[in-house]
Structures are given as structure tokens and as C-alpha cells.
Amino acid sequence: MEIFDNLIQGVDKKENTVLHLAATSDQDWNIFGAALKMMWHFKWFQYTKGLVPEDYTIRTNKSDKTAGELFKQSYSSLIQDGGAWFKETSESCSVVAALFA
């Protein structure tokens, strides 16, 4: 357990914690669609967030960024694409619902 704790609580040369690394993960989940990819990246970030001490959520790296800020920055295009997909899907569902009503 000591090795696990050292990995979770360690920081790299840029003062990035494991939460910062999870926020910038380029893991390809082999999932089609921006919304689903975003969901899995968010789930991974939340899982990692549950492993680290609470103060790591507000800890900044040498670039003065928190892990949350890095997450938003890293996935900004995916967030926009996912939002657009949700909007298009909800509009399509509304049209279908109107046709059946």
C-alpha cells in the first residue's frame, strides 16, 4: 500500500499531481462520439479525484493551473463537440416526438 500512496501523492518536476495527469490523459477509450468520449474522460478524472487527498483539487502546478482548469483546457473541443451532439440529438428527438403526438 505504501507504493500506491507514494504514486498517488507524488508530484513530477512540473508539480503535476496524478490528478493533473488524469486531466490531460490522452487515453483513447475506443469509443465513437464526442459525448461518450467526454463522459469516459470525466469518469476517469472523477475516479482519480476520489483517490487523491482533497487539497489536490485546488493545488496548482508550475504553470499555475489546477487539475480542473487543465481538464477544461484539454477537452474544450471535446466539450463543444459533445454539446453540439446533445443539441442535435435532442432536436431530432423533439421532431420524432412531435410526429408521434
Q: pLDDT digit of tens for each residue in the chain (101 aa)?
A: 677 777 778 888 999 999 999 998 877 778 888 888 888 899 999 999 999 989 989 999 999 999 999 999 988 888 888 888 888 888 888 877 777 76
Distance of CA 74 to the CA centre of its chain: 8
Tell me if 35 sits within 8 A of 82, measured CB to CB. Answer: yes
Return the pLDDT at 101: 66
Distance between CA atoms of residues 69 and 61, nearest Å: 11
Q: Which residue has the cell 508539480?
A: 15
DSSP string for residues in 5-61: HHHHH---TT---HHHHHHT--------SHHHHHHHHHHHHHHHHHHS-GGGGT---
Return the pLDDT at 43: 93
CA dihedral 19, 42, 70, 50 (to 10 degrees): -20
